[in-house]
């Protein structure tokens, strides 16, 4: 049983690594920018009754078409630091540090990348329908 669990864990790790490499190197990657003390972020993440936009998005065709990754800083009051980025997200750190893709204007917000090219930035749930979803749909493979 332990070896079965170990094999399953290894397979999941390998699959996650492949998805990450594909997202950063040549697929659609959606970055969700967040902070642990962001009340609007908890609404998106579904920890408030009646919310759960994140789960609904991830179950949608658009959500399944992207590699979804979360970059979450400890508090809204602090800027992002390199330590806030997981190893598979390190390619994003220089972009945030140098604001080469523009400034992150609020939370929750989203950056859609095609490979490593920024396609669209969306602030808040309001811009998901108007900006983010159309940009994903335009790039989805038939």
Walk along the chain (142 residues) and give the pLDDT tens digit of each residue. 333 333 333 333 334 443 444 445 679 999 999 999 999 998 899 866 667 889 999 999 999 999 999 999 999 999 999 999 999 999 999 999 999 999 999 999 999 999 999 999 999 888 999 999 999 999 997 7
Q: What is the DSSP string of 125-142?
A: THHIIIIIHHHHHHH---
Q: Is 70 exposed, middle or buried (0-12, 13-18, 19+ CB in 10 A)?
A: middle
d(CA 126, CA 92): 24
Domains annotated for the chain, with CATH where assigned, are 2-139 (3.40.30.10)
What's the pLDDT score for residue 25?
60
d(CA 85, CA 11): 23
What's the pLDDT score for residue 51?
74
What's the pLDDT score for residue 54?
92
Assigned token pair, 135:
């940009």
Residue 9 has phi, psi (to 5 degrees) of -60, -40
- List CB contacts of 122: < 8 A, sequence separation 6 or more: 109, 110, 111, 112, 128, 130, 131, 132
What's the pLDDT score for residue 43?
87
What's the pLDDT score for residue 52?
84
Residue 46 φ/ψ region, left for φ over 0, alpha for ψ in the -120 to 50 degree band, beta for the rest: left
d(CA 17, CA 59): 21
Q: What's the whole-model pTM score?
A: 0.79
């Amino acid at each position: 049983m332990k070896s079965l669990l170990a094999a399953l864990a290894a397979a999941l790790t390998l699959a996650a690594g492949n998805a990450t490499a594909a997202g950063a190197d040549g697929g659609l990657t959606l970055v969700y920018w967040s902070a642990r003390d962001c009340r609007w972020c908890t609404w998106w993440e579904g920890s408030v009754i009646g919310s759960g936009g994140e789960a609904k998005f991830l179950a949608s065709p658009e959500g399944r078409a992207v590699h979804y990754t979360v970059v979450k800083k400890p508090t809204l009051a602090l800027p992002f630091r390199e330590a806030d980025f997981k190893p598979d997200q390190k390619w994003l750190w220089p972009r945030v540090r140098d604001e080469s893709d523009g400034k992150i204007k609020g939370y929750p917000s989203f950056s859609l990348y095609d490979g490593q090219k920024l396609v669209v930035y969306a602030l808040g749930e309001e811009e998901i329908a108007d900006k983010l979803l159309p940009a994903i749909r335009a790039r989805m493979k038939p």
